[in-house]
Structure formats: structure tokens, C-alpha cells
């Protein structure tokens, strides 16, 4: 198995290498790929040094799989180039997610849709992944009507520059700004860029992507996405109105039995999900499960996950594992 990792020097790229190592993904040859300024740099993987190469060289090497953790423009330009030489691309950017002929995959939910013909596969948005992981089994049982989600998102979702901004501000220093305002001791209701309808791009990803992943346009999602000064993971306050009523015990049981979900829900012992405990873990943690007493058939819950792992790197590697295990590459 020849695997290329595009964007190997970025935050998600580094986590992808860690996940590939931890999960012992079968690699005969690893190609670490980055922008021209990083070419020639050496990076260690499984105790062996690998020289970073450029995109042209990586395409010429015809890898079986390319994990893309680059910006959308790079993906738009280079993913088709890899696909043309027979490489299956798993792309972490937003570039291909809503393209009608590209599949948007969360392995636990819809990996069964993948075929050998799928040469560019989209990895969903980080906050979408943890949301649909919890919603999918409940939708199957009770049928969702409307979802209201407010997110509390880690600075690591923006990238290294944002993490450095927060650390600079915490230390009382000044430096390059990733955000239009300070993030330390602050909350910015502004994730990604604003669109014409007044929502941010992040909020519209949360509105559109779950419908595509669950292949169902009969429910709606509305979102408010907020950046907060934490680095361990994204948190979401989620309100779901179902067509059918539910028992809280059954909801907990369904979530508890769902692979990839860990229920942490005991108010008596102050047990609930938090980013500091989700950090560096692959599970999606769900807690604060309670009935919305203001209207029928409606549930409140709190969902937390490490945005760089299940929200990005782990999900992409799980897709690659599915392709290998089912002989689709």
C-alpha cells in the first residue's frame, strides 16, 4: 500500500500521522507531501525519516490512497490530478463536500455507499461529524424534524496561527492575529466567513452536510457557531425535535450501543462531556441528555469531540481502512 499524505506539515497532517501509526495502518511506502517551502524537510514516522516531497512528484508516484489535509484551492486543483492516475483521494477540505457526484462519508453511518469508482471522497466538517454521529441512530428510531445547534469551537479548528494567537494573548504578548479580535477571555460568534444570508460558512456547513450524509432532506438544521478559547475539542448544545416521542432511557441505550459514541451523563456525579477530557480521543462524547419541556418530542443534549481526531484525521483514516478492508483500492 502506497499512501500519500498531502499537507503533512500542518496540524491535521501531524495528527493523521499519529493516527496512522496508532491504528497500524498498512503502509509499504509513505509519501509525505507539502507546499514548496517545506519540500526537503525531514519528518519521522515509525522511527524512520521521510523527506517531504512536492505535489508533482507525489502524483508521478501514483499512490493507492492520498489523504488530503490542505486548503480547498489545493484540493480543487490537485485531487483530480491524483484521481486521473488512479489514486483514491480522501479530502479533508470543504472543496468537494456538496458536489452531487462526490460522497460525504462518516464510516459508521454511510461507508457502505463507497465503490471502486469513487476516486474523490469528501471528509465532512469537524463539527458536522460529531453532530451526525449522535443524531444518526436517533433519527433512525424517532425521525428528526428540526435540529437547533450552537457550537463552542476550539481554536485548533482554525489552525496553528489561531492556537499561537491564543497562547500569545494568554502570556500577555502580542503577535500575528488569526481572528479579527482577541480570543483569550473572549467568545467570537464568527467561525469562517460570513455569507450573504448573515450566517457564517461554518453554520451553513452544519445546516447542509447532515442532510447529505443521512441522505434525507425532510429535516432541517439551523446553527450558530462560536469560537471559544479552548484547544481540546468542539462542544455542541443540540436541540432535536422528532416526529415521534421517546423515552430518555431508550435514547441513552441507543447512544450507548452506537459504535464510536461514549455516553457521559450523570448529573449526580457532575459527569458530562468536556473538551479537556475528549482531547486526543477518537470517541464522540454525549451527555446532558434531557427532555425539552417547552415542546413535545424534543430532546436536548451536549456533544463533545476532538476536532482534529474524529473531526478530521481519524475519520479520514477510518475511510481509508474501509477502502482497504473491502478491497476498493
Return the C-alpha cell found at 97: 463536500
Question: Which residues lie across from 298 on neighbouring strands?
Answer: 241
Per annotation, catalytic residue among 50, 126, 139, 279: 126
Q: Helix (H, G, I), strand (E, B), or coil: what is residue 124?
A: coil
- Residue 329 to residue 326: CA distance in whole angstroms: 8
The single-letter DSSP state of residue 10 is: S
Q: Cα separation of 181 and 59, whole Å?
A: 40
* Catalytic annotation present for 126: yes
Write the Ramachandran bin of 198: left for phi over 0, alpha for psi from -120 to 50, otherwise beta.
left
One-character DSSP codes across 176-245: --SSSS--TT--BS--S-B-TTS-BHHHHHHHHHHHHHTT--SSEEEEEEEE-S--S-EEEEEEEEESS-
Q: Active-site residue among 50, 139, 191, 234?
A: 234
Residue 50 is among the residues annotated as catalytic for this protein: no
**Max CA-CA distance within the chain?**
60
In the chain, which ranges are E strands?
2-6, 29-33, 42-45, 48-51, 65-68, 88-91, 120-122, 144-153, 220-227, 234-242, 261-263, 284-291, 298-305
CA dist., res. 294 & res. 219, Å (int): 20
Active site residues: 126, 234
Amino acid at each position: 500500500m502506497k499512501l500519500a499524505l498531502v499537507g503533512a506539515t500542518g496540524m491535521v497532517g501531524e495528527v493523521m500521522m499519529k493516527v496512522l501509526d496508532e491504528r497500524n495502518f498498512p503502509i509499504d511506502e509513505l509519501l509525505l507531501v507539502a507546499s514548496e517551502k517545506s519540500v526537503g524537510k525531514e519528518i519521522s514516522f515509525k522511527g524512520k525519516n521521510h523527506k517531504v516531497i512536492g505535489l508533482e512528484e507525489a502524483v508521478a508516484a501514483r499512490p493507492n490512497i492520498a489523504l488530503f489535509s490542505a486548503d480547498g484551492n489545493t484540493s480543487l486543483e490537485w485531487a483530480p490530478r491524483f484521481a486521473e492516475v488512479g489514486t483514491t483521494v480522501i479530502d479533508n477540505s470543504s472543496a468537494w463536500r456538496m458536489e452531487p457526484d462526490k460522497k460525504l462519508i462518516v464510516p459508521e453511518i454511510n461507508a457502505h455507499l463507497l465503490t471502486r469508482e469513487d476516486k474523490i471522497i469528501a471528509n465532512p466538517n469537524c463539527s458536522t461529524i460529531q453532530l451526525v454521529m449522535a443524531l444518526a441512530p436517533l433519527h433512525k428510531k424517532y425521525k428528526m424534524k428540526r435540529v437547533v445547534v450552537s457550537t463552542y469551537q476550539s481554536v485548533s479548528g482554525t489552525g496553528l496561527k489561531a492556537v499561537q494567537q491564543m497562547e500569545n494573548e494568554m502570556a500577555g504578548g502580542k503577535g500575528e492575529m488569526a481572528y479579527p479580535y482577541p480570543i483569550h477571555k473572549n467568545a467570537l460568534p464568527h467561525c469562517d466567513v460570513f455569507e450573504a444570508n448573515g450566517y457564517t460558512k461554518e453554520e451553513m456547513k452544519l445546516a447542509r452536510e447532515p442532510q447529505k450524509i443521512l441522505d434525507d432532506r425532510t429535516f432541517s438544521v439551523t446553527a450558530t457557531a462560536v469560537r471559544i478559547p479552548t484547544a481540546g475539542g468542539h462542544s455542541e448544545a443540540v436541540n432535536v425535535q422528532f416526529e415521534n416521542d421517546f423515552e430518555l432511557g431508550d435514547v441513552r441505550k441507543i447512544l450507548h450501543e452506537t459504535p464510536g459514541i461514549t455516553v457521559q451523563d450523570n448529573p449526580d456525579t457532575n459527569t458530562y462531556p468536556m473538551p479537556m477530557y475528549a482531547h486526543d480521543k477518537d470517541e464522540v462524547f454525549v451527555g446532558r441528555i434531557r427532555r425539552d419541556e417547552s415542546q413535545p418530542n424534543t430532546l436536548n443534549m451536549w456533544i463533545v469531540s476532538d476536532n482534529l481526531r474524529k473531526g478530521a484525521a481519524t475519520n479520514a483514516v477510518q475511510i481509508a481502512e474501509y477502502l482497504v478492508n473491502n478491497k476498493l483500492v
